[in-house]
Amino acid sequence: MAKRPIFEEVSEPQAAKPKASVPKGIEAPQGARLAIQAWLWLLFAMVVAMIALGGLTRLTDSGLSITEWRPLTGALPPLNAADWAAEFARYQQIDQYRLVNEGMSLSEFQFIYWWEWSHRQLGRLMGAVWAVGFLWFWLRKQIPAGWTARLLIPGVLGGLQGAIGWWMVHSGLQTGMVAVASYRLAVHLGLAFVILGVLASYAFLLGRSSSNLLQARRAREAKLFSLSTGLMHFAFLQIILGALVAGIDAGRGYTDWPMMGGGFLPPAMFELQPLWRNLFENDGTVQFIHRMSGYLLAVFGVIVWMRGRRSAFSQTRRAFHWVMAALAGQIVLGIVTVLQGAPVSLGISHQILAVILWVLILRARHLSQYPLGGTIRG
Protein backbone atom coordinates (compact mmCIF):
# COMPACT_ATOMS: atom_id res chain seq x y z
CA MET A 1 0.00 0.00 0.00
CA ALA A 2 1.46 3.33 -1.07
CA LYS A 3 2.22 5.79 1.67
CA ARG A 4 0.67 9.21 1.48
CA PRO A 5 3.11 12.11 1.28
CA ILE A 6 3.59 13.81 4.61
CA PHE A 7 2.69 17.27 3.22
CA GLU A 8 -0.14 16.19 0.92
CA GLU A 9 -3.00 18.65 0.77
CA VAL A 10 -6.12 17.08 2.26
CA SER A 11 -8.46 20.05 2.22
CA GLU A 12 -10.54 21.08 -0.73
CA PRO A 13 -8.79 23.59 -2.99
CA GLN A 14 -9.90 27.12 -2.30
CA ALA A 15 -11.17 29.19 -5.18
CA ALA A 16 -8.87 32.05 -6.01
CA LYS A 17 -10.14 35.24 -4.51
CA PRO A 18 -10.80 37.94 -7.10
CA LYS A 19 -8.58 40.98 -6.80
CA ALA A 20 -10.26 43.99 -5.36
CA SER A 21 -11.21 46.35 -8.11
CA VAL A 22 -10.04 49.93 -7.88
CA PRO A 23 -12.30 52.69 -9.12
CA LYS A 24 -11.23 54.08 -12.45
CA GLY A 25 -9.70 57.53 -12.33
CA ILE A 26 -8.38 57.14 -8.78
CA GLU A 27 -5.63 54.54 -8.41
CA ALA A 28 -6.06 52.17 -11.35
CA PRO A 29 -4.77 54.55 -14.04
CA GLN A 30 -1.86 55.89 -11.96
CA GLY A 31 0.66 54.46 -14.42
CA ALA A 32 -1.19 56.15 -17.27
CA ARG A 33 -1.31 59.39 -15.29
CA LEU A 34 2.48 59.42 -15.05
CA ALA A 35 2.89 58.56 -18.74
CA ILE A 36 0.45 61.29 -19.72
CA GLN A 37 2.28 63.69 -17.42
CA ALA A 38 5.57 62.90 -19.22
CA TRP A 39 3.86 63.53 -22.57
CA LEU A 40 2.55 66.88 -21.32
CA TRP A 41 6.00 67.89 -20.07
CA LEU A 42 7.41 67.04 -23.51
CA LEU A 43 4.82 69.32 -25.10
CA PHE A 44 5.64 71.95 -22.48
CA ALA A 45 9.35 71.83 -23.38
CA MET A 46 8.44 72.16 -27.05
CA VAL A 47 6.31 75.24 -26.36
CA VAL A 48 9.20 76.80 -24.42
CA ALA A 49 11.48 76.10 -27.39
CA MET A 50 8.80 77.58 -29.66
CA ILE A 51 8.67 80.78 -27.61
CA ALA A 52 12.46 81.08 -27.68
CA LEU A 53 12.60 80.40 -31.42
CA GLY A 54 9.77 82.87 -32.00
CA GLY A 55 11.69 85.48 -30.02
CA LEU A 56 14.80 84.92 -32.10
CA THR A 57 12.72 85.08 -35.28
CA ARG A 58 11.38 88.46 -34.17
CA LEU A 59 14.74 89.80 -33.00
CA THR A 60 16.35 88.89 -36.35
CA ASP A 61 13.42 90.43 -38.29
CA SER A 62 12.78 87.09 -39.98
CA GLY A 63 9.05 86.74 -39.45
CA LEU A 64 7.97 88.07 -42.85
CA SER A 65 10.40 86.02 -44.94
CA ILE A 66 7.70 83.44 -45.78
CA THR A 67 4.78 85.27 -47.36
CA GLU A 68 2.35 82.36 -47.69
CA TRP A 69 0.51 80.15 -45.24
CA ARG A 70 0.72 76.53 -46.30
CA PRO A 71 0.24 74.39 -43.18
CA LEU A 72 0.99 71.10 -44.96
CA THR A 73 2.90 71.74 -48.20
CA GLY A 74 4.96 74.46 -46.53
CA ALA A 75 6.75 71.79 -44.50
CA LEU A 76 9.13 71.32 -47.42
CA PRO A 77 11.63 74.17 -47.84
CA PRO A 78 12.98 75.23 -51.25
CA LEU A 79 14.98 72.29 -52.60
CA ASN A 80 16.74 73.78 -55.62
CA ALA A 81 17.91 77.07 -57.09
CA ALA A 82 14.62 77.66 -58.92
CA ASP A 83 12.60 77.18 -55.74
CA TRP A 84 14.84 79.60 -53.84
CA ALA A 85 14.56 82.18 -56.61
CA ALA A 86 10.75 81.93 -56.55
CA GLU A 87 10.62 82.25 -52.75
CA PHE A 88 12.96 85.25 -52.81
CA ALA A 89 10.88 86.89 -55.54
CA ARG A 90 7.77 86.65 -53.38
CA TYR A 91 9.60 88.29 -50.49
CA GLN A 92 10.78 91.10 -52.78
CA GLN A 93 7.16 92.08 -53.39
CA ILE A 94 6.49 93.19 -49.80
CA ASP A 95 7.34 96.55 -48.26
CA GLN A 96 9.78 95.13 -45.71
CA TYR A 97 12.11 94.28 -48.58
CA ARG A 98 11.48 97.49 -50.54
CA LEU A 99 11.77 99.86 -47.56
CA VAL A 100 14.22 98.06 -45.25
CA ASN A 101 16.10 95.27 -47.00
CA GLU A 102 16.38 96.40 -50.60
CA GLY A 103 19.50 94.96 -52.19
CA MET A 104 19.53 91.95 -49.86
CA SER A 105 21.44 89.00 -51.32
CA LEU A 106 19.98 85.52 -51.69
CA SER A 107 22.21 84.19 -48.91
CA GLU A 108 21.01 86.95 -46.57
CA PHE A 109 17.43 86.06 -47.45
CA GLN A 110 18.11 82.40 -46.76
CA PHE A 111 19.37 83.33 -43.29
CA ILE A 112 16.05 84.94 -42.28
CA TYR A 113 14.04 82.31 -44.18
CA TRP A 114 15.46 79.45 -42.13
CA TRP A 115 14.52 81.17 -38.85
CA GLU A 116 10.88 81.52 -39.87
CA TRP A 117 10.73 78.09 -41.50
CA SER A 118 12.17 76.47 -38.33
CA HIS A 119 9.60 78.28 -36.21
CA ARG A 120 6.74 77.00 -38.34
CA GLN A 121 8.22 73.51 -38.60
CA LEU A 122 8.47 73.21 -34.84
CA GLY A 123 4.80 74.15 -34.66
CA ARG A 124 3.94 71.33 -37.07
CA LEU A 125 6.00 68.88 -35.01
CA MET A 126 4.24 69.95 -31.82
CA GLY A 127 0.88 69.33 -33.45
CA ALA A 128 1.99 65.84 -34.47
CA VAL A 129 3.32 65.03 -30.98
CA TRP A 130 0.03 66.13 -29.43
CA ALA A 131 -2.12 64.18 -31.94
CA VAL A 132 -0.09 60.96 -31.73
CA GLY A 133 0.07 61.10 -27.94
CA PHE A 134 -3.63 61.80 -27.52
CA LEU A 135 -4.67 59.01 -29.89
CA TRP A 136 -2.24 56.58 -28.24
CA PHE A 137 -3.68 57.09 -24.77
CA TRP A 138 -7.28 57.33 -25.98
CA LEU A 139 -7.23 54.17 -28.12
CA ARG A 140 -5.56 52.22 -25.30
CA LYS A 141 -8.18 53.53 -22.85
CA GLN A 142 -5.47 54.89 -20.56
CA ILE A 143 -6.92 58.37 -20.08
CA PRO A 144 -8.18 58.80 -16.51
CA ALA A 145 -11.86 59.46 -16.01
CA GLY A 146 -12.78 63.07 -16.69
CA TRP A 147 -9.55 63.89 -18.53
CA THR A 148 -10.42 63.25 -22.20
CA ALA A 149 -11.92 66.69 -22.80
CA ARG A 150 -9.11 68.35 -20.85
CA LEU A 151 -6.43 66.71 -22.98
CA LEU A 152 -8.19 67.90 -26.13
CA ILE A 153 -7.75 71.52 -25.04
CA PRO A 154 -3.99 71.81 -25.77
CA GLY A 155 -4.58 70.51 -29.30
CA VAL A 156 -7.42 72.96 -29.94
CA LEU A 157 -5.36 75.84 -28.56
CA GLY A 158 -2.39 74.74 -30.66
CA GLY A 159 -4.46 74.82 -33.85
CA LEU A 160 -5.80 78.24 -32.89
CA GLN A 161 -2.24 79.41 -32.24
CA GLY A 162 -1.22 78.43 -35.77
CA ALA A 163 -4.07 80.45 -37.24
CA ILE A 164 -3.25 83.45 -35.03
CA GLY A 165 0.38 83.17 -36.10
CA TRP A 166 -0.61 83.61 -39.72
CA TRP A 167 -3.03 86.42 -38.78
CA MET A 168 -0.06 88.12 -37.15
CA VAL A 169 2.28 87.60 -40.14
CA HIS A 170 -0.41 88.74 -42.57
CA SER A 171 -0.53 92.13 -40.85
CA GLY A 172 3.11 92.70 -41.78
CA LEU A 173 2.47 91.92 -45.44
CA GLN A 174 0.11 94.86 -45.91
CA THR A 175 1.10 97.99 -47.82
CA GLY A 176 3.17 100.34 -45.68
CA MET A 177 4.01 97.72 -43.04
CA VAL A 178 7.59 96.58 -42.43
CA ALA A 179 6.83 94.49 -39.32
CA VAL A 180 3.87 92.66 -37.82
CA ALA A 181 1.27 94.59 -35.83
CA SER A 182 2.37 94.74 -32.19
CA TYR A 183 -1.07 93.95 -30.77
CA ARG A 184 -1.27 90.82 -32.92
CA LEU A 185 2.16 89.80 -31.66
CA ALA A 186 0.88 90.30 -28.12
CA VAL A 187 -2.10 88.02 -28.80
CA HIS A 188 0.21 85.39 -30.32
CA LEU A 189 2.65 85.43 -27.39
CA GLY A 190 -0.16 85.65 -24.84
CA LEU A 191 -1.79 82.49 -26.20
CA ALA A 192 1.59 80.72 -26.05
CA PHE A 193 1.74 81.46 -22.32
CA VAL A 194 -1.86 80.30 -21.90
CA ILE A 195 -0.90 76.98 -23.53
CA LEU A 196 2.12 76.76 -21.23
CA GLY A 197 -0.13 77.37 -18.26
CA VAL A 198 -2.61 74.69 -19.31
CA LEU A 199 0.13 72.10 -19.88
CA ALA A 200 1.92 72.86 -16.60
CA SER A 201 -1.29 72.87 -14.55
CA TYR A 202 -2.36 69.52 -16.01
CA ALA A 203 1.10 68.05 -15.44
CA PHE A 204 1.07 69.16 -11.79
CA LEU A 205 -2.30 67.47 -11.26
CA LEU A 206 -1.41 64.24 -13.05
CA GLY A 207 1.77 63.88 -11.03
CA ARG A 208 -0.37 62.96 -8.02
CA SER A 209 -3.19 60.46 -7.64
CA SER A 210 -6.78 61.65 -7.42
CA SER A 211 -7.05 60.40 -3.85
CA ASN A 212 -3.93 62.34 -2.89
CA LEU A 213 -5.31 65.51 -4.47
CA LEU A 214 -8.65 65.11 -2.70
CA GLN A 215 -6.90 64.73 0.63
CA ALA A 216 -4.54 67.64 -0.01
CA ARG A 217 -7.37 69.95 -1.01
CA ARG A 218 -8.79 69.72 2.49
CA ALA A 219 -5.71 71.62 3.69
CA ARG A 220 -5.81 74.28 0.97
CA GLU A 221 -4.78 77.80 1.95
CA ALA A 222 -7.60 79.81 0.45
CA LYS A 223 -6.14 83.28 1.07
CA LEU A 224 -2.76 82.33 -0.37
CA PHE A 225 -4.41 80.68 -3.35
CA SER A 226 -6.40 83.85 -4.03
CA LEU A 227 -3.27 86.02 -3.80
CA SER A 228 -1.25 83.72 -6.07
CA THR A 229 -4.10 83.72 -8.58
CA GLY A 230 -3.94 87.51 -8.62
CA LEU A 231 -0.17 87.35 -9.08
CA MET A 232 -0.64 84.96 -11.99
CA HIS A 233 -3.02 87.36 -13.72
CA PHE A 234 -0.77 90.36 -13.04
CA ALA A 235 2.28 88.51 -14.43
CA PHE A 236 0.29 87.60 -17.55
CA LEU A 237 -0.62 91.26 -18.05
CA GLN A 238 3.05 92.20 -17.76
CA ILE A 239 3.93 89.57 -20.37
CA ILE A 240 1.39 91.09 -22.77
CA LEU A 241 2.80 94.56 -22.16
CA GLY A 242 6.28 93.18 -22.79
CA ALA A 243 5.08 91.78 -26.11
CA LEU A 244 3.85 95.26 -27.08
CA VAL A 245 7.31 96.61 -26.24
CA ALA A 246 8.95 93.93 -28.35
CA GLY A 247 6.54 94.43 -31.23
CA ILE A 248 7.76 97.98 -31.93
CA ASP A 249 11.30 97.62 -30.54
CA ALA A 250 10.35 100.08 -27.80
CA GLY A 251 13.05 98.64 -25.54
CA ARG A 252 15.69 100.28 -27.74
CA GLY A 253 14.13 103.73 -27.81
CA TYR A 254 15.06 104.83 -24.28
CA THR A 255 18.20 103.32 -22.80
CA ASP A 256 18.42 105.27 -19.54
CA TRP A 257 17.07 104.22 -16.15
CA PRO A 258 15.31 105.11 -13.90
CA MET A 259 14.59 108.15 -16.07
CA MET A 260 13.34 108.07 -19.65
CA GLY A 261 14.92 110.57 -21.98
CA GLY A 262 16.18 112.52 -18.98
CA GLY A 263 12.79 112.79 -17.22
CA PHE A 264 10.28 110.68 -15.38
CA LEU A 265 7.88 110.83 -18.31
CA PRO A 266 9.20 110.22 -21.83
CA PRO A 267 8.85 113.14 -24.25
CA ALA A 268 5.93 113.19 -26.69
CA MET A 269 3.95 110.52 -24.85
CA PHE A 270 0.75 111.44 -26.66
CA GLU A 271 1.95 112.79 -29.97
CA LEU A 272 0.05 110.25 -32.11
CA GLN A 273 -3.56 110.77 -33.11
CA PRO A 274 -6.01 109.39 -32.23
CA LEU A 275 -4.66 109.15 -28.68
CA TRP A 276 -5.27 105.41 -28.30
CA ARG A 277 -2.56 104.72 -30.90
CA ASN A 278 0.06 105.83 -28.38
CA LEU A 279 -0.75 102.78 -26.25
CA PHE A 280 0.38 100.49 -29.07
CA GLU A 281 2.63 102.49 -31.40
CA ASN A 282 4.44 105.17 -29.37
CA ASP A 283 7.69 103.58 -28.18
CA GLY A 284 8.04 105.96 -25.22
CA THR A 285 4.48 105.40 -23.99
CA VAL A 286 4.61 101.64 -24.45
CA GLN A 287 7.93 101.31 -22.60
CA PHE A 288 6.73 103.65 -19.82
CA ILE A 289 3.61 101.54 -19.22
CA HIS A 290 5.71 98.36 -19.16
CA ARG A 291 8.06 99.91 -16.60
CA MET A 292 5.29 101.17 -14.32
CA SER A 293 3.47 97.86 -14.49
CA GLY A 294 6.72 96.11 -13.61
CA TYR A 295 7.15 98.24 -10.50
CA LEU A 296 3.59 97.48 -9.38
CA LEU A 297 4.10 93.78 -10.09
CA ALA A 298 7.22 93.85 -7.92
CA VAL A 299 5.31 95.42 -5.02
CA PHE A 300 2.45 92.95 -5.31
CA GLY A 301 4.92 90.10 -5.66
CA VAL A 302 6.52 91.05 -2.35
CA ILE A 303 3.09 91.12 -0.67
CA VAL A 304 2.28 87.64 -1.98
CA TRP A 305 5.72 86.34 -1.00
CA MET A 306 5.37 87.67 2.55
CA ARG A 307 2.12 85.72 2.87
CA GLY A 308 3.58 82.65 1.18
CA ARG A 309 6.61 82.52 3.45
CA ARG A 310 4.22 82.09 6.39
CA SER A 311 2.61 78.98 4.92
CA ALA A 312 2.40 75.97 7.23
CA PHE A 313 3.82 73.76 4.47
CA SER A 314 7.55 73.76 3.79
CA GLN A 315 7.23 73.00 0.07
CA THR A 316 4.74 75.80 -0.39
CA ARG A 317 7.06 78.23 1.37
CA ARG A 318 9.94 77.06 -0.81
CA ALA A 319 7.83 77.54 -3.95
CA PHE A 320 7.12 81.17 -3.07
CA HIS A 321 10.80 81.78 -2.28
CA TRP A 322 11.59 80.64 -5.84
CA VAL A 323 8.91 82.96 -7.22
CA MET A 324 10.44 85.90 -5.37
CA ALA A 325 13.95 85.03 -6.57
CA ALA A 326 12.81 84.76 -10.20
CA LEU A 327 10.82 88.00 -9.97
CA ALA A 328 13.83 89.88 -8.57
CA GLY A 329 16.04 88.39 -11.27
CA GLN A 330 13.59 89.36 -13.99
CA ILE A 331 13.45 92.96 -12.78
CA VAL A 332 17.24 93.25 -12.73
CA LEU A 333 17.52 91.61 -16.15
CA GLY A 334 14.87 93.96 -17.56
CA ILE A 335 16.80 97.01 -16.35
CA VAL A 336 20.07 95.69 -17.77
CA THR A 337 18.36 94.92 -21.07
CA VAL A 338 17.15 98.51 -21.33
CA LEU A 339 20.54 99.99 -20.39
CA GLN A 340 22.24 97.85 -23.03
CA GLY A 341 19.78 98.76 -25.77
CA ALA A 342 18.04 95.36 -25.84
CA PRO A 343 20.62 93.23 -27.67
CA VAL A 344 19.42 89.85 -28.98
CA SER A 345 21.09 87.84 -26.19
CA LEU A 346 19.56 89.90 -23.37
CA GLY A 347 16.20 90.20 -25.11
CA ILE A 348 15.79 86.45 -25.47
CA SER A 349 17.08 85.88 -21.91
CA HIS A 350 14.45 88.29 -20.60
CA GLN A 351 11.78 86.34 -22.48
CA ILE A 352 12.97 82.94 -21.22
CA LEU A 353 13.12 84.16 -17.62
CA ALA A 354 9.51 85.32 -18.05
CA VAL A 355 8.64 81.71 -18.91
CA ILE A 356 10.45 80.45 -15.80
CA LEU A 357 8.74 83.03 -13.57
CA TRP A 358 5.35 82.15 -15.07
CA VAL A 359 5.78 78.44 -14.32
CA LEU A 360 7.06 79.09 -10.81
CA ILE A 361 3.97 81.20 -10.08
CA LEU A 362 1.76 78.40 -11.41
CA ARG A 363 3.50 75.85 -9.20
CA ALA A 364 3.24 78.03 -6.09
CA ARG A 365 -0.44 78.55 -6.84
CA HIS A 366 -0.92 74.80 -7.29
CA LEU A 367 0.70 74.08 -3.93
CA SER A 368 -1.55 76.66 -2.29
CA GLN A 369 -4.52 74.67 -3.57
CA TYR A 370 -3.03 71.19 -3.06
CA PRO A 371 -0.32 71.36 -0.35
CA LEU A 372 2.32 68.65 -0.10
CA GLY A 373 3.51 67.16 3.19
CA GLY A 374 2.46 67.78 6.75
CA THR A 375 1.71 71.04 8.47
CA ILE A 376 4.82 71.03 10.62
CA ARG A 377 7.00 73.99 9.81
CA GLY A 378 10.52 73.13 8.77
Q: What is the pLDDT of residue 171?
A: 92
Largest CA distance in the chain: 117
Query: Helices in 207-256 by DSSP H: which ranges?
Result: 210-217, 222-247
Question: Which letter does DSSP use for residue 268 in this model?
Answer: T
User: At residue 172, does pLDDT exceed 70?
Assistant: yes
Q: Please give the mean pLDDT across all residues of the chain.
A: 89
Burial of 273 (0-12, 13-18, 19+ CB in 10 A): exposed
Q: Which residues of 10-27 are buried (b: 16+ CB within 10 A; e: fewer)?
A: eeeeeeeeeeeeeeeebe
Which pTM was predicted?
Answer: 0.87
Q: What is the mean pLDDT of residues 270-294?
A: 92
Q: What is the pLDDT of residue 128?
A: 96
Give tens-digit pLDDT for 334-365.
999 999 998 989 999 999 999 999 999 999 99
| pLDDT classification of 19: cutoffs 50, 70, 90 | very low
Q: What is the pLDDT of residue 234?
A: 97
Q: What is the pLDDT of residue 23?
A: 39
| pLDDT classification of 18: cutoffs 50, 70, 90 | very low
Residue 298: CB atoms within 10 A of its CB come to: 15
| pLDDT classification of 250: cutoffs 50, 70, 90 | confident
Which carries the bigger pLDDT value, residue 25 or residue 278?
Answer: 278
| pLDDT classification of 374: cutoffs 50, 70, 90 | low
Q: What is the pLDDT of residue 338?
A: 93
Give tens-digit pLDDT for 105-130.
999 999 999 999 999 999 999 999 99
User: At residue 375, does pLDDT exceed 70?
Assistant: no
Under the phi-then-psi rule, with left for phi > 0, alpha for psi from -120 to 50, and beta for the rest, what region is 366? Answer: alpha
**Quick one: the chain helix, strand, coil %, rounded to 5?**
65, 0, 30
C-alpha 21/C-alpha 18 separation (Å) is 8
User: At residue 304, does pLDDT exceed 80?
Assistant: yes
User: At residue 49, does pLDDT exceed 60?
Assistant: yes
Q: What is the pLDDT of residue 261?
A: 87
User: At residue 169, does pLDDT exceed 70?
Assistant: yes
Q: What is the mean pLDDT of residues 290-298?
A: 96
| pLDDT classification of 30: cutoffs 50, 70, 90 | low
Q: Which of 33-47, 107-121, 207-221 has the lowest mean pLDDT?
A: 207-221
Q: What is the pLDDT of residue 378?
A: 45
User: At residue 184, does pLDDT exceed 70?
Assistant: yes
